[in-house]
Amino acid sequence: MFLIVGLGNPEPQYAKTFHNLGFLAAGDCAELLHTKFKKRECEASVAEAYLAGEKLIIARPLTYMNNSGRSVKQLMRKYKISAKQLIVLYDDYDLPKGHVRVRPSGSAGTHNGMRSVIAETGISDFARVRMGIRDPEVNIPLINYVLSEIRKEDYDLFSSACKRAAEAAVAIAAGTDIDLVMTKYNG
């Protein structure tokens, strides 16, 4: 069993912001697996699927970004998920826009949602799939940038990044060695 969590903010005004790329990628995971977000539990919107005969949970925490860990902790407890069964999808200002980077573990970097996940769960050795958002042409404070709407001319680039991130997460959940996933999707 795997738990794929896409980080974001639940209200409609955040739907097309950089900080919601995790939500968008989680939606792409659900689409790849022909499922929908049908229930709410553990402070999250949840979709269930089966992959290679194993149950897979896809979740979008409804706790807002800075408290994402609260929902992740509840989901891990409910489904008895270990660190090796957790995959987190999220935006990352430390990567150039449109880039995808898969890692088997790591720190939170500048991301408050990941800080919350690590603090609440007490673990950092779980897979993460990051989607880069840094744009050298934009010079505004980080908090304003991550909550700003993606420009129309960049929408296809970020949509593609979300789809690649979803494919990477599903590949990991299907049992593909993470090193192979990194080779295919990083960059």
- Greater pLDDT, 4 or 144: 4
**Can you give the length of the chain in residues?**
187
Please report which confidence band the pLDDT of residue 137 belongs to, taking 50, 70 and 90 as the band edges. Answer: confident
- State the average pLDDT over residues 74-80: 98
Please name every residue paired with 116 in a beta bridge, in sequence order, or none if there are none: none
Residue 111 and residue 92 in contact, taking contact as beta carbons nearer than 8 Å: yes
Please report which confidence band the pLDDT of residue 181 belongs to, taking 50, 70 and 90 as the band edges. Answer: very high
pTM: 0.96
| pLDDT tens per residue, range 155-174 | 999 999 999 999 999 999 99
What average pLDDT does the chain have? 96
Could you say which of 19, 34, 99, 111 is catalytic?
19
**Is 19 noted as a catalytic residue in this protein?**
yes
> How many helices and strands in the chain, by DSSP H and E?
6, 7
Q: In what order do the strands lie in the sheet with 39-41?
A: 39-41, 44-51, 54-61, 2-6, 86-96, 127-134, 100-103
Read off φ and ψ for residue 74, nearest 5 degrees: -65, -45
| pLDDT tens per residue, range 26-45 | 999 999 999 999 999 999 99
Measure the CA angle with vertex 95, ends 183 and 121; round to 5°.
85
Please report which confidence band the pLDDT of residue 142 belongs to, taking 50, 70 and 90 as the band edges. Answer: confident
Q: Which CATH number is associated with domain 2-185?
A: 3.40.50.1470
- Highest mean pLDDT: which of 107-111, 137-141, 155-159? 155-159
**Would the pLDDT of 187 be above 80?**
no
**Would the pLDDT of 52 be above 90?**
no
